[in-house]
Amino acid sequence: MARKEHNLSVCLFAHVRKMSLLRIKKPTTRKGKKILLNREPKLVENVKNTLILEGRKSSGNIKSVLKDLYLLKKPQIKRLSRQNDIIPFENELPLQQLVQKNECSLFMFGSSSKKRPDNLILGRLFENELLDMVELGLVKYRGLQDFKTQKISSNVKPCLIFNGPKWTQTEELRRLKCLLIDSFHRETVNSIRLQGMEHVLSFTLADDLTLFMRSYSIQLKKSGQKTPRIELTEIGPACDFVIRRTKIASEDLYKLSKKRPKTLKPTKKKNLSTDAFGNKEGRVHVGKQNIHKIQTRKIKRLSRQNDIIPFENELPLQQLVQKNECSLFMFGSSSKKRPDNLILGRLFENELLDMVELGLVKYRGLQDFKTQKISSNVKPCLIFNGPKWTQTEELRRLKCLLIDSFHRETVNSIRLQGMEHVLSFTLADDLTLFMRSYSIQLKKSGQKTPRIELTEIGPACDFVIRRTKIASEDLYKLSKKRPKTLKPTKKKNLSMDAFGNKEGRVHVGKQNIHKIQTRKVKALKKTAEERKAEKSAAKASKGDE
């Protein structure tokens, strides 16, 4: 009976103790209230702190690795100097309590045993419970003190680089990559200053699952351009690890740990989108407009309809063009047989030279492109795409007619900022003519020559070639003939190379090389003995004669 009463009293004592632990104790001081408020969940969490601790036994290499990692991670890190009787893969509760007590969510646990020498365990918690844990074995190590180079300053945000295709092959390796990012991550920033990047941490995973960790300092050197030349100097530590054991959370718990509050998710704004380069693009809705009542720019043209059929009788068209002091014409018409018809033509000495009939298949006007238009009286840059332009005489004449139609005054030189407009003519294999219009925008490229961007501004027309009427070869040659006064006079002994540089030839009269006064060289002078020998040889030759 006494034994039963004793057991009952023990159970009651344990229950009361448990209830006292579960009871929420309100803070009595202002400092305590501030600490509890800081521990509460937030929309934007604080920077994750890391706890460094050692097991029962640890080797000198593991102690040095933990010391170097402590120096790299300062000040978001805590280090316990005492050894702890903890085996994380057998019982993780003592480790969880220690990490929670020190207000950390990441840990680095170093130990060494006969079975697993030079052991390093990386892990992280979620809601004070273990989420992921990876055991690494140290194979090779060079510390910070082994590199005699200038070290980086403390509290520097490192740039993390993961090399090798193995990181995405298994779920364990993906979690290890995520764990390393969490371990060396600092506060989140919105923008990066180039001069503020001083440190690089490189993690390379080989085919045999050996993990190479390297640390470099970034040095910005002069390159002669706006962007500097980057040099990397190894500063340590340099560690080679092998992956031993892993303990990862279930898929549901991992998804729960990655969940973001709804308030932090970006709200999608209506009619706003972002392109590949991060630029905002908006769509503006305008009410229906009556095009017939809009005041447009007045263009000088013939308002009355003309009963002219150019391909049957061109004389009335010639007279009209001549009367209006023009040499080119664009004639629009539409019929059941030939709908949406456009005829381009030109005159030479008030007579028809060439005429091409085009049928409009597809059209998008200037008003359909909601882009900034070019200024008036801008000389366009004409581009002809496709190999078909030179196959037949009709297509060659059409190209020449298009050049004449959009040609403005002739200039001797071109200023890069003055090029604002591009007209592109593409001739497909089925002889469909695509006409496109673009505006030229000069962007900064970091070099002397700017980066060019083309924006389509309209109109965009697709034509089919229907009929052509071209002049004879003799008349066409006569129209291209230039007056003699305009022809460049060929200067004697002057030529131009492929780059437009002048090259000249200078003619010099015949010279007697023996009479030219050259520089006297001491080595070429004859000695007295050589001169005597020459004289004696000359006398002997005369005596023989």
pLDDT digits (tens, 9 = 90+) for 58-74: 999 999 999 999 999 98
Q: Which residue has the higher pLDDT, 273 or 170?
A: 170
pLDDT at 158: 93
pLDDT at 54: 94
What are the start-end ranges of the E strands in 25-92? 50-54, 77-83
Q: What is the mean pLDDT of residues 328-344?
A: 90
pLDDT at 247: 94
Q: Which residue has the higher pLDDT, 14 or 183?
A: 183
Domain coordinates of the chain in residue numbers? Answer: 50-258, 314-480
Q: Which two tokens stand for residue 216?
A: 């470099």
**What is 50-258's CATH superfamily?**
Brix domain (3.40.50.10480)
Judge whether residue 132 has pLDDT over 80: yes
pLDDT at 484: 79
Judge whether residue 16 has pLDDT over 50: no
Pairing verdict, β 328-333 and 210-221: unpaired
- pLDDT digit string (tens) for 444-478? 887 888 888 888 988 999 999 988 988 888 888 88
* Token pair 């690494």: residue: 136
Q: What is the mean pLDDT of residues 332-341?
A: 89
pLDDT at 445: 82
What are the start-end ranges of the E strands in 26-76? 50-54
What are the start-end ranges of the E strands in 49-103? 50-54, 77-83
- pLDDT digit string (tens) for 391-436? 888 898 898 989 888 888 887 777 777 788 889 999 998 889 999 9
- Chain centre to alpha carbon of residue 496: 41
pLDDT at 21: 47
Q: Which two tokens stand for residue 449?
A: 């020559």
pLDDT grade for 4, boundaries at 50, 70 and 90: very low
Percentage, residues of the chain above pLDDT 90: 36
pLDDT at 44: 74
Task: Write the DSSP assignment of 516-528 as a string of letters.
Answer: S-PPP-GGGPPPH
Judge whether residue 19 has pLDDT over 70: no
Q: How far is CA 406 from CA 354, 369, 388, 421, in A?
A: 16, 21, 20, 12
First to last CA, the chain: 165
pLDDT at 519: 65
Q: Which two tokens stand for residue 395?
A: 């297509």
Q: 461 φ, ψ to 5°?
A: -125, 140
Looking at every residue in the chain, the average pLDDT score rounds to: 85
| CA–CA gap between residue 316 and residue 326 (Å, rounded) | 14
Q: Do 50-258 and 314-480 show the same overall fold?
A: yes
Q: What is the mean pLDDT of residues 154-178?
A: 92
Radius of gyration in angstroms for the set of CA atoms belonging to the chain, rounded to a whole number: 44
- pLDDT digit string (tens) for 172-196? 999 999 999 999 998 888 888 888 8
| CA–CA gap between residue 366 and residue 423 (Å, rounded) | 14
- pLDDT digit string (tens) for 265-307? 777 888 888 888 778 888 888 888 777 777 666 655 555 566 7
Per the DSSP assignment, residues forming a β-bridge with 442 are 452
HSE of 241, CA atoms in CB hemisphere, 13 A: 24
| CA–CA gap between residue 155 and residue 185 (Å, rounded) | 11
pLDDT grade for 536, boundaries at 50, 70 and 90: confident
The CATH number assigned to the domain with range 314-480 reads 3.40.50
Pairing verdict, β 77-83 and 50-54: parallel
Q: Which of 19-28, 123-132, 280-289 has the lowest mean pLDDT?
A: 19-28
Judge whether residue 318 has pLDDT over 80: yes
Judge whether residue 206 has pLDDT over 90: yes
Closest of 111, 103, 114, 127 to residue 47, by C-alpha: 103
pLDDT grade for 10, boundaries at 50, 70 and 90: very low
- Most confident residue range from 105-109, 151-155, 371-375: 105-109
Judge whether residue 242 has pLDDT over 50: yes
Q: Which residue has the higher pLDDT, 57 or 20?
A: 57
| CA–CA gap between residue 21 and residue 36 (Å, rounded) | 16
Q: What is the mean pLDDT of residues 224-240?
A: 91
pLDDT at 166: 92
Write the CB contacts of 338 (distance below 8 Å, at least 6 apart in sequence). Answer: 357, 359, 466
- pLDDT digit string (tens) for 495-534? 888 777 888 888 877 777 777 766 666 656 677 888 888 8
Contact 448, 465 (CB under 8 A): no
Whether the pTM exceeds 0.75: the reply is no
Judge whether residue 334 has pLDDT over 60: yes
